[in-house]
């Protein structure tokens, strides 16, 4: 096991020291506002730096984690060992014909807005999804009948060997809130979205309509990770939770939203362990009442807080 001071020394040969934060609290970087400290939180500024960091982590066997906007992740209170990489410096979006090419750290909401400005249709569904482009590909994010799979043409990734590859979207095995990105260990650098020329008023009307639906149904005033559970075959997770009388029930600072039963909100400085305890309470109650296993959509990563 490589010592932390050696990891720092090696990282500082690859990227500027200002772009390496030590013992950085992940809750400062997640939409959920949950998560203990990462040993090293790095924000590379070039593709070459990303490649070098991946090669170093592999060769030295240092644990490596990618963080987007943390809107689908719960990081435990003990934080994350090794290197956490954020693509927050990669936010450019450019047009090429009827395609929008977006870097992985751009917010998918901003890419959707850019499509509107460019009079391109196909990304309206993404106008309220608070993740990055990288996180949206990883999850095959979708809403209101649309998903990334419908408009993704290609992705540019760094593979586990640190090489840049351009992949057809079909190579990512995009399914219902899944892809093969975790299994292959790809780091998404860029997404090429193939869109259609559209009419500004129609695109805007659709985005306004979806925003209205979202704002009227979702508890956007509190940090959360969106819908916690996948849709179980033949049921709706939110309805099962509502019918289990769980809305408003909480542990510590986390509770099942009173506005949307499928959401668990960080209502009052919740810890990750409060949040996870509420998830487990919901799963157990729904299983007991309806015999349905709720599968999490949200990922839980990191270490438990060590008790002294
Ligand atoms: C209020 C609210 C509403 C939501 N609504 C929706 C919705 O309508 N539809 C929907 O699908 N989701 C929704 N979500 C969930 C979430 O926004 C999406 O899953 C989003 O795609 C996650 O992106 P992220 O950048 O936050 O990823 P993170 O949560 O940071 O990470 C998720 C996973 O993606 C990986 N990842 C991140 N960036 C990269 C990269 N560059 N390369 C490779 N892997 C990467 C991470 O390692 C992690 O495993 C909602 C969440 C909230 C809080």
Is the pLDDT confidence value at 2 over 80? no
Residue nearest to atom 50 of ligand 1 (CA): 226
pLDDT band at 217 (very low <50, low <70, confident <90, very high): very high
Q: Which atom of ligand 1 is nearest to the CA of 67?
A: 30
Q: What's the whole-number mean pLDDT along residues 294-299?
A: 95
Is the pLDDT confidence value at 1 over 70? no
Q: Please give the distance, rounded to the nearest whole angstrom, from the Cα atom of residue 6 to the centre of ligand 1.
A: 32
Q: Is 58 exposed, middle or buried (0-12, 13-18, 19+ CB in 10 A)?
A: middle
pLDDT of the residue at 5:
86
Do residues 83 and 8 make contact, with C-beta atoms less than 8 angstroms apart?
no
Is the pLDDT confidence value at 306 over 90? no
Q: Which tokens is 290 given?
A: 């309806």
Answer yes or no: 55 catalytic: no
pLDDT of the residue at 308:
55
pLDDT in tens, 124-167: 999 999 999 999 999 999 999 999 999 999 999 999 999 999 99
Percentages helix, strand, coil for the chain (3-state, rounded to 5) are 35, 30, 35
pLDDT in tens, 80-139: 999 999 999 999 999 999 999 999 999 999 999 999 999 999 999 999 999 999 999 999
pLDDT in tens, 246-295: 999 999 999 999 999 999 999 999 999 999 999 999 999 999 999 999 99
Q: What's the whole-number mean pLDDT along residues 26-54?
A: 97
> CA-CA distance, 97 to 243, in Å (whole number)?
49
Overall pTM surpassing 0.85 (yes/no):
yes
Cα-Cα-Cα-Cα dihedral sign, residues 249, 280, 266, 23: positive
Pocket-testing residue among 34, 130, 160, 272, ligand 1, by greatest number of atoms within 8 A of Cβ = 130
* Interstrand relation of 263-266 and 254-256 (parallel, antiparallel or unpaired): antiparallel
Say which residue the tokens 């400085």 belong to: 269
Q: What integer best gives the mean pLDDT of the chain?
A: 96
pLDDT in tens, 62-77: 999 999 999 999 999 9
């Amino acid at each position: 096991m490589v010592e932390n001071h050696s990891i720092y020394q090696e990282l500082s040969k690859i990227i500027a020291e200002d772009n390496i934060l030590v013992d950085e609290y992940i809750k400062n970087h997640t939409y959920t506002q949950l998560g203990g400290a990462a040993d090293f939180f790095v924000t590379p500024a070039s593709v070459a730096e990303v490649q070098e960091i991946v090669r170093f982590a592999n060769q030295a066997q240092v644990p490596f984690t990618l963080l987007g906007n943390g809107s689908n992740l719960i990081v435990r209170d003990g934080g994350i060992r090794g290197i956490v990489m954020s693509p927050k410096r990669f936010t450019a979006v450019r047009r090429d014909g009827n395609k929008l090419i977006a870097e992985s750290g751009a917010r998918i909401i901003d890419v959707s807005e850019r499509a509107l400005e460019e009079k391109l249709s196909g990304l309206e569904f993404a106008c309220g999804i608070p993740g990055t482009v990288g996180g949206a590909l990883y999850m095959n994010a979708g809403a209101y009948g649309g998903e990334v799979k419908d408009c993704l043409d290609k992705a540019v990734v760094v593979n586990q060997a640190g090489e840049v590859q351009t992949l057809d979207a079909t190579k990512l095995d995009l399914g219902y809130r899944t892809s093969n990105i975790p299994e292959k260990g790809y780091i998404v650098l860029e997404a090429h979205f193939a869109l259609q020329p559209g009419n500004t008023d129609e695109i805007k009307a659709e985005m306004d309509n979806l925003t209205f639906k979202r704002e009227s149904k979702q508890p956007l005033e509190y940090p959360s990770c969106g819908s916690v559970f996948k849709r179980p075959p033949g049921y709706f997770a939110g309805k099962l939770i509502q019918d289990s009388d769980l809305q408003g029930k909480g542990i510590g600072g986390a509770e099942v939203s009173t506005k949307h039963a499928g959401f668990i909100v960080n209502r009052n400085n919740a810890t990750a362990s409060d949040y996870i305890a509420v998830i487990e309470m919901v799963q157990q109650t729904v299983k007991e009442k309806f015999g349905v296993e709720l599968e999490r959509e949200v990922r839980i990563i990191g270490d438990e807080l060590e008790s002294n």
